[in-house]
Amino acid sequence: MTEPNLKYPYDDHPPPGVIQEVADGVYWLTMPMPGSLSHINLYLLEDDAGWYVVDTGLSNDETKGWWEEIFASSLNGKPVIGVICTHMHPDHIGQSAMITEAFRCPLYMTRAEYYQARSFSNSGGSHHQSWIGAEFYTRAGMPMDYLEQLAQMWASRASEGMSMPTMPSGYERLVDGQVLTIGKHDWQVVVGSGHSPEHACLYCAALKVMISGDQILPIITSNVSVHPTEPNANPLKDWMDSLDELLSVPDDTFILPAHNLPFYGVRERLRGLISHHDDRLLAIEEACVEPQVAKDLLPVLFARELDARQMMMALGEAIAHVHLLMHRNRIERTLHEDGVYRFLSIDPDLARRAHPGSHDAPSDGPVMV
């Protein structure tokens, strides 16, 4: 799924260590990421007194080294005076403690993102290794050794710098609608949810620029998952509501995302994402004309054979879709004697209205952002 009319003013990412001005006082830089993702986009906002950093990269030494180079050569002798993290994922918060320590400056985050980051800090995948995790995956139909596979996966991710770092011990709270004045410009905090609990975008009406984090990406579809920590969550409802609200962003806004390239065409992209999920919802609902186990819905969403990490994300996504369908009274869930949930369509007209075979093809695989 791609939208044909998105415009990308830049063909390439700046190489690590280089900052590129993309709007008045707004600079773009990248940090490396392992795997197919390859990079994260970060931004610097210039104030008279210093710089605000928006998102920080992974917690590994390579990223720290690039930051030190930027501090030494690119900041015109001015200090960093604030670190803003859009949300709590490790590629966004990884260097927040390092930078706020180095400059003794505040970390700005929404409350839910800050405390979730702190609660996951240094704990690896431990929330997967309890009866809550075991019950979650059993009910989804996963094999008994799956938790063990997950533990191994988390251990290897830690060595890639993808584990949660120690967070600064205090923060400044961002709330939806709040305005941050940085240099000559006002930036409004726009909170979305679904990919993470309380994701902050920054919107500057005067510059017609939005720093969108993982809330709006032009190519990658952000992961929207149910996790064992909240097994009955409904993040896809939050995500769809957020996409609807973001449709009020003016269409000539330059979107600065955390992954892929900066782009124009925000409404086309949002409509594309809404339609993508609507289509997956219908495909899953149609599959549930027969009772379905969550695990067996993965081929409806993803064509490729999945490794343990991709399986975890894909399963979380499948469960997010069935939970929204349950919320909409399109399917019902029953717990069977084998300890596994079955999902069944409750619309007697569904078979007549269905269009099997004409949905989006399953995508190649989930991408972890």
- By the criterion CB under 5 A, which residues form the site for Zn ion? 89, 214, 369
> How far are the Cα atoms of 26, 176, 366 from residue 182, in angstroms, in the given order?
10, 17, 36
Give whichever of 214 and 238 is closer to Zn ion, judged by the CB atom: 214
* 42 in Cβ contact with 57 (< 8 Å): yes
Give whichever of 89 and 277 is closer to Zn ion, judged by the CB atom: 89
Q: How far is the CB of 89 from Zn ion (least distance, A)?
A: 3
Give whichever of 58 and 284 is closer to Zn ion, judged by the CB atom: 58
Residue number closest to Zn ion, CB atom: 89
Give whichever of 29 and 287 is closer to Zn ion, judged by the CB atom: 29
Question: Exposed (0-12), middle (13-18) or buried (19+): which is 186, by Cβ within 10 Å?
Answer: middle
Give whichever of 281 and 369 is closer to Zn ion, judged by the CB atom: 369
Q: How far is the CB of 196 from Zn ion (least distance, A)?
A: 6
Q: How far is the CB of 91 from Zn ion (least distance, A)?
A: 7
E strand or H helix that includes residue 102: helix 96-103
**DSSP tally for the chain: helices H, then strands E:** 11, 14
Give whichever of 23 and 273 is closer to Zn ion, judged by the CB atom: 273
Q: How far is the CB of 148 from Zn ion (least distance, A)?
A: 26
Give whichever of 283 and 368 is closer to Zn ion, judged by the CB atom: 368
Q: How far is the CB of 28 from Zn ion (least distance, A)?
A: 18
Give whichever of 190 and 300 is closer to Zn ion, judged by the CB atom: 190
What span, in angstroms and rounded, lies between the C-alpha atoms of 364 and 369? Answer: 16
Q: How far is the CB of 229 from Zn ion (least distance, A)?
A: 16
Q: Which two tokens stand for residue 198?
A: 């309380």
For 180, list phi and psi in degrees, rounded to 5: -105, 125
What span, in angstroms and rounded, lies between the C-alpha atoms of 33 and 144? Answer: 32
Q: How far is the CB of 315 from Zn ion (least distance, A)?
A: 18
Count of Cβ atoms closer than 10 Å to residue 190 Cβ: 22
Give whichever of 113 and 214 is closer to Zn ion, judged by the CB atom: 214
What span, in angstroms and rounded, lies between the C-alpha atoms of 201 and 212? Answer: 5
> How far are the Cα atoms of 57, 59, 226 from residue 65, in angstroms, in the given order?
11, 11, 35
For 21, list phi and psi in degrees, rounded to 5: -75, 125
Q: Whose structure tokens read 């902050």?
A: 200
Q: How far is the CB of 213 from Zn ion (least distance, A)?
A: 7
- Give per-residue burial for 151-177: e unless 16+ CB within 10 Å, then b: bebbeebbeebbbbbebbeebeebeee
Q: How far is the CB of 259 from Zn ion (least distance, A)?
A: 9
